[in-house]
Structure 1
Amino acid sequence: MPSSAGEKLDRDELAGVRLWGVYISEAEKYDKALVEGWKSDMKGILIFAGLFSTSLTAFLVESYQSLAPDQGAITIALLAQISRQLAAPENTSSVNLEALSAFEPSDSSIVCNTLWFLSLGLSLCCALIATLVEQWSRDFVQSTEMRPSPVVRARVVSYLYFGLQRFGMHTVVQFIPFLLHLSLILFFAGLVAFLYPISKMLSLVIAAILGLISAAYLFLTVLPMLCFDSPYRTPLSAMLWGLLQQLGALLHPHKKLYFRQRTSTFQKQRTPPKQ
Protein backbone atom coordinates (compact mmCIF):
# COMPACT_ATOMS: atom_id res chain seq x y z
CA MET A 1 0.00 0.00 0.00
CA PRO A 2 2.65 2.57 0.86
CA SER A 3 4.40 1.71 -2.39
CA SER A 4 1.25 2.18 -4.44
CA ALA A 5 0.48 5.43 -2.61
CA GLY A 6 4.00 6.66 -3.33
CA GLU A 7 3.68 5.73 -6.98
CA LYS A 8 0.37 7.60 -7.17
CA LEU A 9 1.98 10.63 -5.55
CA ASP A 10 4.84 10.48 -8.04
CA ARG A 11 2.39 10.26 -10.93
CA ASP A 12 0.45 13.25 -9.57
CA GLU A 13 3.64 15.26 -9.21
CA LEU A 14 4.72 14.30 -12.71
CA ALA A 15 1.30 15.29 -14.08
CA GLY A 16 1.53 18.59 -12.21
CA VAL A 17 4.98 19.26 -13.61
CA ARG A 18 3.75 18.50 -17.11
CA LEU A 19 0.74 20.76 -16.62
CA TRP A 20 2.90 23.63 -15.41
CA GLY A 21 5.29 22.95 -18.28
CA VAL A 22 2.47 23.38 -20.79
CA TYR A 23 1.39 26.60 -19.06
CA ILE A 24 4.95 27.96 -19.07
CA SER A 25 5.42 27.07 -22.73
CA GLU A 26 2.24 28.87 -23.81
CA ALA A 27 2.79 31.82 -21.48
CA GLU A 28 6.36 32.32 -22.64
CA LYS A 29 5.31 32.24 -26.28
CA TYR A 30 2.79 34.99 -25.61
CA ASP A 31 5.13 37.02 -23.39
CA LYS A 32 8.03 36.80 -25.83
CA ALA A 33 5.81 37.83 -28.74
CA LEU A 34 4.53 40.75 -26.66
CA VAL A 35 8.00 41.83 -25.58
CA GLU A 36 9.46 41.45 -29.08
CA GLY A 37 6.66 43.65 -30.41
CA TRP A 38 7.46 46.28 -27.80
CA LYS A 39 11.19 46.13 -28.52
CA SER A 40 10.56 46.43 -32.26
CA ASP A 41 8.32 49.46 -31.73
CA MET A 42 10.83 51.09 -29.39
CA LYS A 43 13.66 50.52 -31.85
CA GLY A 44 11.69 52.28 -34.58
CA ILE A 45 10.85 55.13 -32.20
CA LEU A 46 14.50 55.52 -31.22
CA ILE A 47 15.60 55.73 -34.86
CA PHE A 48 12.88 58.21 -35.80
CA ALA A 49 13.35 60.32 -32.66
CA GLY A 50 17.09 60.51 -33.31
CA LEU A 51 16.69 61.60 -36.92
CA PHE A 52 13.91 64.04 -36.05
CA SER A 53 15.88 65.59 -33.17
CA THR A 54 18.89 66.05 -35.43
CA SER A 55 16.81 67.79 -38.09
CA LEU A 56 15.03 69.94 -35.51
CA THR A 57 18.33 71.02 -33.98
CA ALA A 58 19.39 72.42 -37.36
CA PHE A 59 16.24 74.59 -37.40
CA LEU A 60 16.82 75.70 -33.80
CA VAL A 61 20.40 76.77 -34.54
CA GLU A 62 18.97 79.18 -37.09
CA SER A 63 15.87 80.32 -35.19
CA TYR A 64 17.19 80.90 -31.67
CA GLN A 65 19.43 83.71 -32.95
CA SER A 66 16.30 85.81 -33.44
CA LEU A 67 15.81 85.86 -29.65
CA ALA A 68 18.99 87.90 -29.08
CA PRO A 69 20.20 91.17 -30.60
CA ASP A 70 22.29 90.88 -33.73
CA GLN A 71 25.84 91.45 -32.49
CA GLY A 72 27.05 91.68 -36.06
CA ALA A 73 24.74 94.62 -36.78
CA ILE A 74 25.89 96.40 -33.61
CA THR A 75 29.54 95.88 -34.55
CA ILE A 76 28.95 97.18 -38.08
CA ALA A 77 27.19 100.29 -36.73
CA LEU A 78 30.07 101.02 -34.36
CA LEU A 79 32.68 100.53 -37.08
CA ALA A 80 30.71 102.81 -39.41
CA GLN A 81 30.61 105.50 -36.71
CA ILE A 82 34.36 105.19 -36.11
CA SER A 83 34.97 105.47 -39.86
CA ARG A 84 32.85 108.62 -40.11
CA GLN A 85 34.64 110.23 -37.16
CA LEU A 86 38.05 109.45 -38.63
CA ALA A 87 36.99 110.89 -41.99
CA ALA A 88 35.43 114.00 -40.45
CA PRO A 89 36.77 114.74 -36.95
CA GLU A 90 34.40 117.69 -36.59
CA ASN A 91 31.48 115.24 -36.76
CA THR A 92 30.63 114.65 -33.09
CA SER A 93 27.53 112.54 -33.61
CA SER A 94 27.60 109.18 -31.85
CA VAL A 95 25.79 105.92 -32.16
CA ASN A 96 22.87 105.45 -29.81
CA LEU A 97 24.01 102.27 -28.08
CA GLU A 98 20.90 102.15 -25.91
CA ALA A 99 18.70 102.02 -29.01
CA LEU A 100 20.81 99.22 -30.43
CA SER A 101 20.86 97.24 -27.20
CA ALA A 102 17.16 97.75 -26.40
CA PHE A 103 16.17 94.68 -28.37
CA GLU A 104 12.87 92.83 -28.11
CA PRO A 105 12.28 89.63 -30.09
CA SER A 106 9.19 89.49 -32.25
CA ASP A 107 6.13 87.52 -31.21
CA SER A 108 6.61 85.09 -34.07
CA SER A 109 10.18 84.37 -32.93
CA ILE A 110 9.06 83.69 -29.36
CA VAL A 111 6.22 81.41 -30.48
CA CYS A 112 8.39 79.58 -32.99
CA ASN A 113 11.26 78.91 -30.60
CA THR A 114 8.91 77.92 -27.77
CA LEU A 115 7.17 75.34 -29.94
CA TRP A 116 10.41 73.99 -31.39
CA PHE A 117 12.15 73.66 -28.02
CA LEU A 118 9.07 71.88 -26.65
CA SER A 119 9.12 69.62 -29.69
CA LEU A 120 12.80 68.81 -29.15
CA GLY A 121 12.20 68.11 -25.47
CA LEU A 122 9.33 65.73 -26.22
CA SER A 123 11.36 63.95 -28.87
CA LEU A 124 14.25 63.40 -26.48
CA CYS A 125 11.84 62.24 -23.76
CA CYS A 126 10.43 59.68 -26.22
CA ALA A 127 13.93 58.38 -26.86
CA LEU A 128 14.62 58.14 -23.13
CA ILE A 129 11.37 56.32 -22.33
CA ALA A 130 11.83 54.00 -25.31
CA THR A 131 15.27 53.06 -23.97
CA LEU A 132 13.75 52.36 -20.55
CA VAL A 133 10.99 50.23 -22.08
CA GLU A 134 13.59 48.13 -23.90
CA GLN A 135 15.41 47.61 -20.61
CA TRP A 136 12.18 46.75 -18.73
CA SER A 137 11.21 44.27 -21.44
CA ARG A 138 14.61 42.60 -21.30
CA ASP A 139 14.45 42.38 -17.49
CA PHE A 140 10.95 40.88 -17.69
CA VAL A 141 12.07 38.08 -20.00
CA GLN A 142 15.23 37.38 -18.03
CA SER A 143 13.36 37.26 -14.71
CA THR A 144 10.97 34.62 -16.03
CA GLU A 145 13.76 32.41 -17.39
CA MET A 146 15.98 32.27 -14.29
CA ARG A 147 13.84 29.79 -12.31
CA PRO A 148 14.59 26.07 -12.85
CA SER A 149 11.49 24.75 -11.07
CA PRO A 150 8.41 24.68 -13.35
CA VAL A 151 6.06 25.54 -10.47
CA VAL A 152 8.15 28.49 -9.29
CA ARG A 153 8.71 29.62 -12.86
CA ALA A 154 4.98 29.55 -13.59
CA ARG A 155 4.26 31.62 -10.50
CA VAL A 156 6.93 34.16 -11.43
CA VAL A 157 5.60 34.42 -14.99
CA SER A 158 2.06 34.99 -13.74
CA TYR A 159 3.16 37.41 -11.01
CA LEU A 160 5.26 39.56 -13.33
CA TYR A 161 2.65 39.61 -16.09
CA PHE A 162 -0.05 40.79 -13.70
CA GLY A 163 2.47 43.40 -12.56
CA LEU A 164 2.66 44.67 -16.15
CA GLN A 165 -1.11 45.02 -16.17
CA ARG A 166 -1.32 46.54 -12.70
CA PHE A 167 1.20 49.30 -13.40
CA GLY A 168 -0.11 50.06 -16.90
CA MET A 169 2.88 48.97 -18.95
CA HIS A 170 0.68 48.65 -22.03
CA THR A 171 -0.52 52.23 -21.56
CA VAL A 172 3.05 53.51 -21.26
CA VAL A 173 4.05 51.75 -24.48
CA GLN A 174 1.02 53.21 -26.29
CA PHE A 175 1.68 56.69 -24.90
CA ILE A 176 5.22 56.99 -26.31
CA PRO A 177 4.13 57.20 -29.99
CA PHE A 178 1.55 59.82 -29.01
CA LEU A 179 4.31 61.99 -27.51
CA LEU A 180 6.27 61.63 -30.72
CA HIS A 181 3.21 62.57 -32.77
CA LEU A 182 2.67 65.59 -30.52
CA SER A 183 6.30 66.56 -31.06
CA LEU A 184 5.74 66.52 -34.83
CA ILE A 185 2.61 68.65 -34.53
CA LEU A 186 4.50 71.20 -32.42
CA PHE A 187 7.26 71.29 -35.02
CA PHE A 188 4.83 72.05 -37.85
CA ALA A 189 3.08 74.68 -35.73
CA GLY A 190 6.46 76.29 -35.04
CA LEU A 191 7.23 76.14 -38.75
CA VAL A 192 4.10 78.20 -39.41
CA ALA A 193 5.26 80.83 -36.89
CA PHE A 194 8.77 80.78 -38.40
CA LEU A 195 7.53 81.38 -41.95
CA TYR A 196 4.86 83.97 -41.07
CA PRO A 197 7.18 87.05 -41.06
CA ILE A 198 8.87 85.80 -44.24
CA SER A 199 5.86 84.80 -46.34
CA LYS A 200 2.31 84.93 -45.05
CA MET A 201 1.04 82.96 -48.02
CA LEU A 202 3.48 80.11 -47.42
CA SER A 203 2.70 80.05 -43.70
CA LEU A 204 -1.04 79.86 -44.45
CA VAL A 205 -0.45 76.92 -46.79
CA ILE A 206 1.53 75.10 -44.09
CA ALA A 207 -1.16 75.95 -41.53
CA ALA A 208 -3.86 74.53 -43.82
CA ILE A 209 -1.88 71.32 -44.31
CA LEU A 210 -1.35 71.08 -40.54
CA GLY A 211 -5.08 71.54 -39.98
CA LEU A 212 -5.91 68.73 -42.42
CA ILE A 213 -3.38 66.41 -40.78
CA SER A 214 -4.77 67.20 -37.32
CA ALA A 215 -8.34 66.57 -38.50
CA ALA A 216 -7.30 63.25 -40.05
CA TYR A 217 -5.50 62.29 -36.82
CA LEU A 218 -8.60 63.07 -34.78
CA PHE A 219 -10.77 61.08 -37.19
CA LEU A 220 -8.46 58.05 -36.97
CA THR A 221 -8.56 58.35 -33.18
CA VAL A 222 -12.35 58.19 -33.06
CA LEU A 223 -12.89 55.71 -35.91
CA PRO A 224 -12.16 52.50 -33.90
CA MET A 225 -14.83 53.54 -31.39
CA LEU A 226 -17.41 53.68 -34.16
CA CYS A 227 -16.23 50.61 -36.07
CA PHE A 228 -14.57 47.91 -33.98
CA ASP A 229 -13.17 46.18 -37.07
CA SER A 230 -11.41 49.32 -38.31
CA PRO A 231 -7.67 48.70 -38.84
CA TYR A 232 -6.96 52.43 -38.42
CA ARG A 233 -6.31 53.95 -35.04
CA THR A 234 -3.88 56.15 -33.09
CA PRO A 235 -2.20 55.71 -29.69
CA LEU A 236 -4.99 57.84 -28.21
CA SER A 237 -7.80 55.52 -29.34
CA ALA A 238 -7.55 52.97 -26.51
CA MET A 239 -6.94 55.62 -23.84
CA LEU A 240 -9.82 57.80 -25.02
CA TRP A 241 -12.13 54.78 -25.15
CA GLY A 242 -11.23 53.84 -21.57
CA LEU A 243 -11.84 57.40 -20.37
CA LEU A 244 -15.23 57.53 -22.07
CA GLN A 245 -16.26 54.22 -20.53
CA GLN A 246 -15.18 55.34 -17.06
CA LEU A 247 -17.10 58.58 -17.51
CA GLY A 248 -20.16 56.62 -18.60
CA ALA A 249 -19.87 54.34 -15.57
CA LEU A 250 -19.70 57.38 -13.27
CA LEU A 251 -22.72 59.02 -14.85
CA HIS A 252 -24.69 55.75 -14.94
CA PRO A 253 -23.58 53.60 -11.97
CA HIS A 254 -26.29 51.00 -12.67
CA LYS A 255 -24.65 50.26 -16.05
CA LYS A 256 -21.12 49.54 -14.81
CA LEU A 257 -21.26 45.95 -16.07
CA TYR A 258 -22.41 47.17 -19.47
CA PHE A 259 -19.48 49.57 -19.80
CA ARG A 260 -17.03 46.89 -18.63
CA GLN A 261 -18.33 44.53 -21.29
CA ARG A 262 -17.97 47.22 -23.96
CA THR A 263 -14.39 47.92 -22.83
CA SER A 264 -13.59 44.20 -22.92
CA THR A 265 -15.09 43.92 -26.41
CA PHE A 266 -13.04 46.89 -27.65
CA GLN A 267 -9.82 45.47 -26.21
CA LYS A 268 -10.46 42.07 -27.77
CA GLN A 269 -11.05 43.70 -31.14
CA ARG A 270 -7.72 45.56 -30.83
CA THR A 271 -5.71 42.53 -29.61
CA PRO A 272 -4.48 39.94 -32.12
CA PRO A 273 -5.47 36.34 -31.34
CA LYS A 274 -2.89 34.05 -29.80
CA GLN A 275 -1.20 31.69 -32.19
Structure 2
Amino acid sequence: MAESWKADADGILVFTGLFSASVAALVAVSVQDLKPSSQDNSAFYLANIYQLLANANGIQVSIPATLTDPSIPFSPPSHAVWVNSLWFLSLAISITCALLATLLQQWARRYIKITQPRYSPHKRARIRAFFAEGVDKLHLPWAVEALPTLLHVSLFLFFGGLLMFLFNINHTVFSAVAWWVGICAAVYIWVTFMPIFRHDSPYYAP
Protein backbone atom coordinates (compact mmCIF):
# COMPACT_ATOMS: atom_id res chain seq x y z
CA MET A 1 0.00 0.00 0.00
CA ALA A 2 2.64 2.52 1.04
CA GLU A 3 4.82 1.51 -1.89
CA SER A 4 2.00 2.28 -4.31
CA TRP A 5 1.48 5.68 -2.66
CA LYS A 6 5.16 6.45 -3.09
CA ALA A 7 5.10 5.36 -6.74
CA ASP A 8 2.05 7.53 -7.43
CA ALA A 9 3.71 10.50 -5.75
CA ASP A 10 6.84 10.05 -7.86
CA GLY A 11 4.84 10.15 -11.08
CA ILE A 12 2.83 13.16 -9.95
CA LEU A 13 5.99 15.06 -9.01
CA VAL A 14 7.51 14.53 -12.45
CA PHE A 15 4.33 15.59 -14.23
CA THR A 16 3.68 18.63 -12.04
CA GLY A 17 7.26 19.80 -12.53
CA LEU A 18 6.98 19.75 -16.32
CA PHE A 19 3.42 21.06 -16.33
CA SER A 20 4.12 23.93 -13.93
CA ALA A 21 7.12 25.01 -16.00
CA SER A 22 4.95 25.11 -19.14
CA VAL A 23 2.17 27.09 -17.46
CA ALA A 24 4.65 29.52 -15.90
CA ALA A 25 6.22 30.20 -19.30
CA LEU A 26 2.83 31.11 -20.78
CA VAL A 27 1.81 33.14 -17.74
CA ALA A 28 4.98 35.21 -18.10
CA VAL A 29 3.70 36.24 -21.54
CA SER A 30 0.00 36.68 -20.77
CA VAL A 31 0.50 38.67 -17.57
CA GLN A 32 1.81 41.56 -19.65
CA ASP A 33 -1.76 42.18 -20.82
CA LEU A 34 -2.83 43.02 -17.27
CA LYS A 35 -0.70 46.13 -16.97
CA PRO A 36 -0.10 49.15 -19.20
CA SER A 37 2.74 48.83 -21.67
CA SER A 38 5.71 51.10 -21.06
CA GLN A 39 6.36 51.11 -24.81
CA ASP A 40 2.86 52.47 -25.48
CA ASN A 41 3.42 55.21 -22.91
CA SER A 42 6.73 56.16 -24.51
CA ALA A 43 5.13 56.19 -27.95
CA PHE A 44 2.35 58.48 -26.69
CA TYR A 45 4.78 61.00 -25.20
CA LEU A 46 7.00 60.92 -28.28
CA ALA A 47 3.95 61.55 -30.45
CA ASN A 48 3.04 64.52 -28.26
CA ILE A 49 6.54 65.96 -28.58
CA TYR A 50 6.44 65.47 -32.33
CA GLN A 51 3.03 67.15 -32.50
CA LEU A 52 4.26 70.18 -30.54
CA LEU A 53 7.32 70.56 -32.75
CA ALA A 54 5.28 70.14 -35.91
CA ASN A 55 2.65 72.65 -34.79
CA ALA A 56 5.39 75.15 -33.99
CA ASN A 57 6.49 74.91 -37.62
CA GLY A 58 2.95 75.34 -38.91
CA ILE A 59 2.39 71.67 -39.68
CA GLN A 60 -0.82 70.12 -38.42
CA VAL A 61 -0.20 66.67 -36.96
CA SER A 62 -2.64 64.57 -34.96
CA ILE A 63 -1.86 61.79 -32.51
CA PRO A 64 -3.00 58.37 -33.78
CA ALA A 65 -6.10 57.05 -32.05
CA THR A 66 -4.30 53.79 -31.31
CA LEU A 67 -2.11 55.58 -28.76
CA THR A 68 -3.85 55.83 -25.41
CA ASP A 69 -3.31 58.61 -22.91
CA PRO A 70 -1.35 57.26 -19.89
CA SER A 71 -3.29 59.61 -17.62
CA ILE A 72 -6.45 57.59 -18.30
CA PRO A 73 -6.78 54.68 -15.82
CA PHE A 74 -5.74 51.43 -17.47
CA SER A 75 -8.35 48.71 -17.77
CA PRO A 76 -7.13 45.31 -19.02
CA PRO A 77 -9.24 43.44 -21.58
CA SER A 78 -11.74 41.02 -20.10
CA HIS A 79 -10.28 38.07 -22.01
CA ALA A 80 -6.83 38.83 -20.54
CA VAL A 81 -8.30 38.80 -17.04
CA TRP A 82 -9.99 35.46 -17.66
CA VAL A 83 -6.94 33.86 -19.26
CA ASN A 84 -4.63 34.91 -16.46
CA SER A 85 -7.15 33.90 -13.80
CA LEU A 86 -7.43 30.40 -15.26
CA TRP A 87 -3.69 29.99 -15.76
CA PHE A 88 -2.69 31.35 -12.37
CA LEU A 89 -5.26 29.11 -10.69
CA SER A 90 -4.00 26.16 -12.72
CA LEU A 91 -0.43 26.94 -11.69
CA ALA A 92 -1.40 27.29 -8.02
CA ILE A 93 -3.23 23.95 -8.03
CA SER A 94 -0.32 22.25 -9.81
CA ILE A 95 2.20 23.53 -7.27
CA THR A 96 -0.13 22.46 -4.46
CA CYS A 97 -0.23 18.97 -5.98
CA ALA A 98 3.57 18.91 -6.00
CA LEU A 99 3.63 19.85 -2.32
CA LEU A 100 1.05 17.21 -1.43
CA ALA A 101 2.96 14.60 -3.46
CA THR A 102 6.12 15.44 -1.53
CA LEU A 103 4.25 15.07 1.75
CA LEU A 104 2.79 11.79 0.54
CA GLN A 105 6.28 10.47 -0.12
CA GLN A 106 7.29 11.38 3.41
CA TRP A 107 4.17 9.75 4.86
CA ALA A 108 4.79 6.58 2.85
CA ARG A 109 8.42 6.35 3.95
CA ARG A 110 7.42 6.88 7.57
CA TYR A 111 4.68 4.26 7.30
CA ILE A 112 7.10 1.74 5.83
CA LYS A 113 9.72 2.51 8.46
CA ILE A 114 7.27 2.12 11.33
CA THR A 115 5.41 -0.93 10.09
CA GLN A 116 8.47 -2.92 9.03
CA PRO A 117 10.75 -2.99 12.07
CA ARG A 118 12.91 -5.99 12.95
CA TYR A 119 10.40 -7.60 15.26
CA SER A 120 8.68 -10.93 15.25
CA PRO A 121 6.05 -11.50 12.55
CA HIS A 122 3.29 -11.42 15.17
CA LYS A 123 4.39 -8.05 16.52
CA ARG A 124 4.82 -6.60 13.03
CA ALA A 125 1.29 -7.71 12.18
CA ARG A 126 -0.07 -5.93 15.27
CA ILE A 127 1.83 -2.75 14.39
CA ARG A 128 0.52 -2.83 10.83
CA ALA A 129 -3.03 -3.41 12.01
CA PHE A 130 -2.73 -0.48 14.43
CA PHE A 131 -1.50 1.97 11.80
CA ALA A 132 -3.84 0.58 9.14
CA GLU A 133 -6.74 1.51 11.39
CA GLY A 134 -5.34 5.04 11.69
CA VAL A 135 -4.97 5.27 7.92
CA ASP A 136 -8.62 4.34 7.45
CA LYS A 137 -9.94 6.61 10.20
CA LEU A 138 -7.99 9.64 8.94
CA HIS A 139 -9.05 8.96 5.34
CA LEU A 140 -5.53 8.90 3.96
CA PRO A 141 -6.62 6.94 0.85
CA TRP A 142 -8.94 9.84 0.02
CA ALA A 143 -6.01 12.23 0.15
CA VAL A 144 -4.09 9.95 -2.20
CA GLU A 145 -7.01 9.83 -4.62
CA ALA A 146 -7.45 13.60 -4.43
CA LEU A 147 -4.01 14.25 -5.90
CA PRO A 148 -4.75 13.02 -9.46
CA THR A 149 -8.15 14.71 -9.31
CA LEU A 150 -6.61 18.07 -8.47
CA LEU A 151 -4.05 17.56 -11.20
CA HIS A 152 -6.81 16.91 -13.73
CA VAL A 153 -8.65 20.04 -12.61
CA SER A 154 -5.44 22.02 -13.08
CA LEU A 155 -5.05 20.60 -16.58
CA PHE A 156 -8.63 21.47 -17.53
CA LEU A 157 -8.19 25.04 -16.29
CA PHE A 158 -5.03 25.32 -18.35
CA PHE A 159 -6.77 24.10 -21.50
CA GLY A 160 -9.65 26.52 -20.90
CA GLY A 161 -7.26 29.43 -20.60
CA LEU A 162 -5.28 28.25 -23.62
CA LEU A 163 -8.36 28.16 -25.84
CA MET A 164 -9.43 31.61 -24.69
CA PHE A 165 -5.90 32.92 -25.24
CA LEU A 166 -5.67 31.51 -28.78
CA PHE A 167 -9.19 32.66 -29.70
CA ASN A 168 -8.09 36.27 -29.29
CA ILE A 169 -4.87 35.77 -31.26
CA ASN A 170 -5.54 33.58 -34.29
CA HIS A 171 -8.69 31.67 -35.16
CA THR A 172 -6.87 29.09 -37.27
CA VAL A 173 -4.57 28.09 -34.44
CA PHE A 174 -7.52 28.19 -32.06
CA SER A 175 -9.52 25.81 -34.26
CA ALA A 176 -6.67 23.32 -34.51
CA VAL A 177 -6.08 23.26 -30.76
CA ALA A 178 -9.82 23.25 -30.00
CA TRP A 179 -10.27 20.12 -32.12
CA TRP A 180 -7.54 18.31 -30.23
CA VAL A 181 -8.80 19.44 -26.82
CA GLY A 182 -12.30 18.34 -27.81
CA ILE A 183 -11.07 14.88 -28.79
CA CYS A 184 -9.12 14.54 -25.53
CA ALA A 185 -12.14 15.68 -23.53
CA ALA A 186 -14.36 13.14 -25.28
CA VAL A 187 -11.88 10.33 -24.58
CA TYR A 188 -11.59 11.43 -20.95
CA ILE A 189 -15.37 11.38 -20.50
CA TRP A 190 -15.54 7.98 -22.19
CA VAL A 191 -12.83 6.58 -19.91
CA THR A 192 -14.53 8.08 -16.85
CA PHE A 193 -17.94 6.54 -17.50
CA MET A 194 -16.86 3.27 -19.08
CA PRO A 195 -16.60 1.36 -15.75
CA ILE A 196 -20.30 2.09 -15.21
CA PHE A 197 -21.25 0.21 -18.36
CA ARG A 198 -18.33 -2.24 -18.48
CA HIS A 199 -17.46 -3.62 -15.07
CA ASP A 200 -14.46 -5.44 -16.51
CA SER A 201 -13.01 -2.23 -17.95
CA PRO A 202 -9.36 -1.65 -16.99
CA TYR A 203 -9.73 2.06 -17.70
CA TYR A 204 -10.27 4.44 -14.84
CA ALA A 205 -10.29 8.19 -14.25
CA PRO A 206 -10.83 10.08 -10.99
Gaps of 5+ in 1: 1-33, 237-275
Report the equivalent of 1:166.
137
Structure 1 position 124 matched with structure 2 position 95: yes
Q: Is the 8 A contact 2:167 2:174 kept in 1?
A: yes
Deviation at 1:118, TM superposition (A): 1.0
Going from structure 1 to structure 2, the CA distance change for 1:78 and 1:99 (only over 3 Å counts) comes to closer
The CA deviation string for residues 53-100 of structure 1, in whole angstroms up to 9 with x for no partner, is: 111111001001111111211112102322342454377999899843
Equivalent of residue 78 in structure 2, options 101, 107, 131:
107
Structure 1 position 140 matched with structure 2 position 111: yes
Report the equivalent of 1:63.
30
Structure 1 position 75 matched with structure 2 position 46: no
Secondary structure of 2:31's counterpart equals: helix
Deviation at 1:227, TM superposition (A): 1.7
Gaps of 5+ in 2: none
Secondary structure of 1:139's counterpart equals: helix
Deviation at 1:107, TM superposition (A): 1.9
Comparing 207-216 and 56-65, the one that deviates more: 207-216
Give me the whole-angstrom Cα distance separating, in 2, the residues matched to 1:166 and 1:207: 44
Give me the whole-angstrom Cα distance separating, in 2, the residues matched to 1:60 and 1:68: 13
Deviation at 1:128, TM superposition (A): 0.5
The count of corresponding residues between Structure 1 and Structure 2 is: 202
Give me the whole-angstrom Cα distance separating, in 1, the residues matched to 2:170 and 2:69: 28
Q: Is the 8 A contact 2:40 2:68 kept in 1?
A: no
Deviation at 1:112, TM superposition (A): 0.9
Q: TM-score, normalised by structure 1?
A: 0.66
Give me the whole-angstrom Cα distance separating, in 2, the residues matched to 1:145 and 1:233: 31
Going from structure 1 to structure 2, the CA distance change for 1:125 and 1:223 (only over 3 Å counts) comes to same
Secondary structure of 2:56's counterpart equals: coil
Matches within 5 A, 1:191-210: 191-210=162-181
Letter in 2 for 1:215: A
Percentage of matched positions with identical amino acids:
38
Report the equivalent of 1:13.
none
Report the equivalent of 2:56.
89
Report the equivalent of 1:48.
15
Report the equivalent of 2:186.
215
Give me the whole-angstrom Cα distance separating, in 1, the residues matched to 2:139 and 2:175: 41
Give me the whole-angstrom Cα distance separating, in 2, the residues matched to 1:168 and 1:215: 31
The CA deviation string for residues 98-119 of structure 1, in whole angstroms up to 9 with x for no partner, is: 8433322222111111111111
The CA deviation string for residues 19-78 of structure 1, in whole angstroms up to 9 with x for no partner, is: xxxxxxxxxxxxxxx222221221111111011111111100100111111121111210
Q: TM-score, normalised by structure 2?
A: 0.86
Give me the whole-angstrom Cα distance separating, in 2, the residues matched to 1:90 and 1:159: 92
Q: Is the 8 A contact 1:221 1:233 kept in 2?
A: yes
Q: Is the 8 A contact 1:108 1:196 kept in 2?
A: no
Matches within 5 A, 1:215-234: 215-234=186-205
Give me the whole-angstrom Cα distance separating, in 1, the residues matched to 2:190 and 2:32: 38
Report the equivalent of 2:153.
182
Greater Rg over alpha carbons, structure? 1
Report the equivalent of 2:127.
156
